[in-house]
Amino acid sequence: MGSAHSLKRVNEKVKEGVGVEGNFPEEVFWALLEKGDDGILVLDANMKIAYTNTVFLDLTGFESSEVLNHSFYDFVEPSQIEPLKKILENSQGDQGKFCQETSFLKRNGSCIATDTCFSPDYDRSPPLTYVYIRDLTEWKRIEGELKKANSFFVNLIESSVDGIIAADIKGNIIIFNHSAEQLTGYRADEVVGGKLHITKIYPEGVAKDIMRKLRSEEYGGVGKLTPIRITVLSREREEIPIELSAALVYEEGREIASVGIFTDLRERLKIEEQLQETHLQLLQSEKMASVGKLAAGVAHEINNPLGGILIYASLMLEDMSEDDPRRPDIQRIVQETTRCKEIVKSLLEFGHQSGPKFEPVDVNRAIVDGLFFLENQAIFHNIEIVKDLDPFSLRVMGNASQLKQVFMNMVVNAADAMSGNGKLTIQTRLSEDESFVYISFTDTGVGIPEENLSKIFDPFFTTKEVGKGTGLGLAVCYGIVEKHGGRIEVESQVGRGTTFRIVLPVKGEQKGETIREDTNF
């Protein structure tokens, strides 16, 4: 603590400064200097310490003999000495007190952070400087904990895979995390701080409805909103499906803000749609398998009787003279029996009764070979056929004969849909990962009504007139493609045309080894 002599000198100077008349009790000054929470130093004109109170000694751990008559700068953390000297030099002639954060050295070599206020008194001769030092250790600890907690919550909010948006009670956005930026296309600096009202990210009336639900008991309790599905608007005003859960923030019973968690549903809905499509494909496959077994059984049962009818009718026809009046009837029997045999043949193919050998098949070559037999037929004379084939060979493991049957059926169906007049585009492409070959047939025909899209692969379903189609063409194609491990997709608009897309896998050794030679088709 300070010496009695130094205290007496300070006592005298203070009394002179405040103009106290008579003897002022020394113990009062002692109490003022020693009983407070702040460390107090009195510096002379040379910045040497003329007085220190006990609080400063307790803060630093020094003895009074190690402090008195030593330079003030001996106790300041070295990196702060020069900046502090400049500040004190510039303050000469200024009677005002100034404060700044200063680190003092402790006797054990560590430092203590303080809020230090300097009060120069240059009216005296020699001048004095009064220094008041408040320990910031606890304040720094609390500040550090608050910063740590704040940093944790900021990181938590920013790291969330869901968009988090908070707004004050007036609708001004105050929190807009990274996921919210990705969801909406807005940047945080474009919306935070009253730059964008919260209602602008919702379709008209939705924000008001959300607040109504938040204040209701029916949607999770007052102040809470259990997850609901709504849409929000992106920066480009695109509607984005999301799942929203929200809450009101209260202070002393008053609403001060609202916060919402926005879960992007686009990928989830896409997966759900794919699962639904896969489910329908599985149902279709199961249905086709069952019908295929039935069709194969029926075909076997009626094939022999039909063969007998055809043979005997043909023999009768050979024995008849050209002018026999019964001849047209027998010819009709032969004609219709032959048509029945074709139906039975299709049924057997549909039922997968044969086991063709699979080998590498050049898809482009199979298409070109099929077109060679069709292009000169009358129905194709007024049809423009555009071959947009991949410039390289596209090979799959399959049966060339069956694949040609599928491709030719697609071409004939397209010609029928255009009534022999229009444009047919045939395109082949390899997927980016070289796992699949895409073959598409796009016509400019009448299109398929939406109510028929789910039926076109059903056996015996046809929109053609009686006698012009068996309704087995697409069903057989579906079965062949499925047997090759692929699938058929269809898109159609009534009056604008139809696209059939066949997807075939590149299997075995062929995968990743597509022959890179120009096909010159």
Please tell me the number of Cα atoms within 13 Å of 165 on its side-chain side: 29
Q: Angle formed by the axes of helices 266-319 and 473-483, to 10°?
A: 120
| Residue 233 counted as domain residue | yes
Q: Which helix (H) or strand (E) holds 339?
A: helix 327-350
Amino acid at 140: K
Query: Residue 299: which CATH number?
Result: 1.10.287
The mean per-residue pLDDT over the stretch 5-17 comes to 48
pLDDT at 474: 82
Question: How would residue 327 be classed by pLDDT, with cut points 50, 70 and 90?
Answer: confident
Distance in angstroms (rounded) separating the CA atoms of residues 213 and 310:
77
Mean residue pLDDT of the chain comes to: 82
Dihedral of the CA atoms 352, 406, 471, 478 (nearest 10)? 60
Question: How would residue 48 be classed by pLDDT, with cut points 50, 70 and 90?
Answer: very high
Per the model's pLDDT, the better-predicted residue between 369 and 439 turns out to be: 439
- Are 363 and 439 in contact by the 8 Å Cβ rule? The answer is yes
| Residue 88 counted as domain residue | yes
pLDDT at 352: 53
Give residue-wise pLDDT tens across range 465-508: 544 555 567 887 888 898 888 999 999 999 899 999 999 998 64
Q: Give me the percent of the chain exceeding a pLDDT of 70.
A: 80
| Residue 145 counted as domain residue | no
pLDDT at 12: 53
- Are 367 and 426 in contact by the 8 Å Cβ rule? The answer is yes
- Are 514 and 393 in contact by the 8 Å Cβ rule? The answer is yes
| Residue 147 counted as domain residue | no
Distance in angstroms (rounded) separating the CA atoms of residues 232 and 240:
5
Closest CA to 475 of 409, 396, 397: 409
| Residue 519 counted as domain residue | no
Query: Residue 243: which CATH number?
Result: 3.30.450.20
Give residue-wise pLDDT tens across range 52-78: 998 999 999 999 899 999 999 999 999
For residues 90 and 106, membership in a common domain is answered with: yes
Give residue-wise pLDDT tens across range 234-254: 999 999 999 999 999 999 889
Both structure tokens of 98: 């100034």
Which range has the worst mean pLDDT, 451-460, 497-506, 509-518?
Answer: 509-518
Number of domains in the chain: 4
In degrees rounded to 5, what are phi and psi of residue 208? Answer: -65, -40
For residues 413 and 455, membership in a common domain is answered with: yes
Distance in angstroms (rounded) separating the CA atoms of residues 283 and 182:
38
pLDDT at 289: 65
pLDDT at 179: 92
pLDDT at 371: 84
Distance in angstroms (rounded) separating the CA atoms of residues 347 and 292:
8
Structural domain of 420: 359-510
For residues 19 and 113, membership in a common domain is answered with: yes
pLDDT at 464: 58
